[in-house]
Structure 1
Amino acid sequence: MSGLLPSEGNVDTGGEGTPRVHWLDDDETEQLIGSLSSSTARDILSSLHDSPATAKELAEVVGTSIQNVRHHLGNLQDAELARVAGTRYSEKGREMKIYAPTDGPLVVCVGGNEDNREDFTDAISSFLE
């Protein structure tokens, strides 16, 4: 059966995307920081930046259960830090999702007044592009 289904799937590794700039007091930033509050989630995201992987592979690398990895992957996806980049098939013929980090750098800023935020965001974006 090993030859019937491709074990190596196509993975959209993407390229460098547009930089994301968040301000600490934004609602979206709260979800982002919440998703990274666990060291396991940070380890998963760091591992994805090294190489796209399945939940099973991430569980082995990080040293936790697949269920725990899936929980953190869900949070990372909700915060737009991770995404499904493709699929591959296990030896048993099960379809497995391959996860990768979202494209582009991420910057979280503290302080500054409302009037200067857009200019600051533009400056950071042009520097990181």
Structure 2
Amino acid sequence: MSTTSELVKGLDDLDLDGLRAVWRERYGDPPPLRSEPLFRLMLGFHLQAESGGGVSREVRRTLRKTGATVPAGQELGLGAVLRREWKGRVVEVVVEADGFRLEGRLYRSLSAAATAAAGSRWNGPRFFGLRT
């Protein structure tokens, strides 16, 4: 029988399909993650929590208190304008209470607006220079 630390160390040798197989065997359908490092961390957390009897009541209570997160870019304040030149045109997004307005259309996230503007999948904060 393997110890938890041996199980977690063994995750380093697995690719994404292998990590999904371990998740499926232990917890059911795996989450739709495509990031191998993130999946490895998440699975390692679950294995460690499981060996310790699960997440404590205190930790669950703390997590519930954290509340909803503010979408990236929203902290700039209502009415803030983000601009970027993209393929010869200026892309402009306005921060609103319910999301980000681009060319008259409201998007729930900055990434959704950036993706619409670029025509391919983009991280919104990165597209608009809020992140390197």
TM tier relative to shorter chain: under 0.3
Task: Give the greater-gyration-radius structure (CA).
Answer: 2
TM-score, scaled to structure 2: 0.22
Choose between structure 1 and 2 for higher RCO, CA contacts under 8 A separated by at least 6 residues. 1
